[in-house]
Chain A
Amino acid sequence: MALSKIDVVNMLTGEVPNANVATLGVAKGGTGLTSGTTNQFLKFTGSTTLASAADNTGKLGQIITAATTTATTVSSNTYADTNITASITPSATNSKILIFITDNCQVVHNSSNNDNGMAFRIKRTIGGSDTTLDTDDQPYQGFYQSASAGENFRQHISLHSVDSSHNTTNAITYTHQIASYRTSGGALGASAHDNNRGNITLIEVLA
């Protein structure tokens, strides 16, 4: 049937059903999307595709902090846990965890050696499985003092590390570990000595 009449008024004021309108792709200046997610942003997922995505680039996800005033005294060159420990549950497997530790450490020399030192290590525990993040190569590398036998020295130390290999959204526990260089004759190394404070702060940085 031949078109005999165009209803111009209704054409200008009416609505074209969505089903009759094609989605305009990125290559034509559109988004290629039919919907988005509240409070999210558009992100290129390919050269000509966009998608809704959270604004999480480099954003801090969470901060966990813990402190202790319970001393840990060791007379061993085998690493032992201190009470400086904290747990975090990452929101994504590819986020980074920044670890900051401060500790008040003390070494006591024995009566036969003119020096003593301490070594430090950060232990990571996921689901009961332990791994080492950062460790000193020598048992005196973290804190060393050479002086007369029988003396003791105290030092405030700071450690930091980045965990970019946890690959989990399960809870992760980070623990500061210490070891003493000299292990006899009363030699010792201490964390949070004399019940001074030790701190640990964990920060999740989203990818």
Chain B
Amino acid sequence: MIVTEIDKLCKAIHILKPNAQFTIRGNVVNEETFNNIEWITGADAIGSAVFTKTCPHSEITYAKILEEMDKL
């Protein structure tokens, strides 16, 4: 399955982790681009997002995201 709908992707993320905060750049089309999602972990001195590309939420995996998107 190819992920192309950002709206559904965001919903799927929030189903798995309701308060997950993140930034997505461009399109997510496969697991490689899914792994480029920037997961926000806090804010710096001027209030800009501090992020990691290592998903800090064990509930969220690419396979689970695809499963949830299929249900939407």
A residues neighboring B (CB under 8 Å) = 70-76, 78-81, 83, 108, 110, 123, 130-132, 152, 177, 183-188, 190, 195
Chain A residues whose CB sits within 8 angstroms of the CB of B23 once the complex forms:
72-74, 76, 80-81
Interface check B63, CB cutoff 8 A: no
Most buried by B among A79, A80, A130, A184: A80
Whether the Cβ atoms of B43 and A78 lie closer than 8 Å is: yes
Q: Nearest Cβ distance between residue A193 and chain B, in whole angstroms?
A: 8
Whether the Cβ atoms of B6 and A190 lie closer than 8 Å is: yes
Q: Give CA–CA (A123, B44) in the complex, Å.
A: 13
Residue pairs across A and B with CB atoms within 8 Å: the count is: 84
Closest to B41 in A: A78
Q: Nearest Cβ distance between residue A116 and chain B, in whole angstroms?
A: 12
Q: Give CA–CA (A76, B38) in the complex, Å.
A: 11
Q: Give CA–CA (A177, B22) in the complex, Å.
A: 14
**Can you give 24 contacting A-B residue pairs, CB < 8 Å?**
A71-B6, A72-B24, A73-B6, A74-B23, A75-B21, A76-B21, A76-B40, A78-B48, A80-B38, A80-B40, A81-B23, A81-B48, A81-B49, A108-B10, A110-B14, A123-B46, A123-B48, A130-B46, A131-B46, A132-B47, A183-B21, A186-B10, A190-B6, A195-B26
**With A78-B48, A188-B6, A188-B7 known to touch, is A71 a contact of B19 (CB < 8 Å)?**
no
Number of B residues whose C-beta is below 8 Å from A? Answer: 27
Q: Nearest Cβ distance between residue A72 and chain B, in whole angstroms?
A: 6
Q: Give CA–CA (A45, B18) in the complex, Å.
A: 65
Whether the Cβ atoms of A132 and B26 lie closer than 8 Å is: no
Most buried by B among A75, A123, A183: A75
Interface check B60, CB cutoff 8 A: no
**With A75-B10, A80-B38, A184-B14 known to touch, is A132 a contact of B46 (CB < 8 Å)?**
yes
Q: Nearest Cβ distance between residue A160 and chain B, in whole angstroms?
A: 20
Closest to A152 in B: B7
Whether the Cβ atoms of A184 and B18 lie closer than 8 Å is: yes
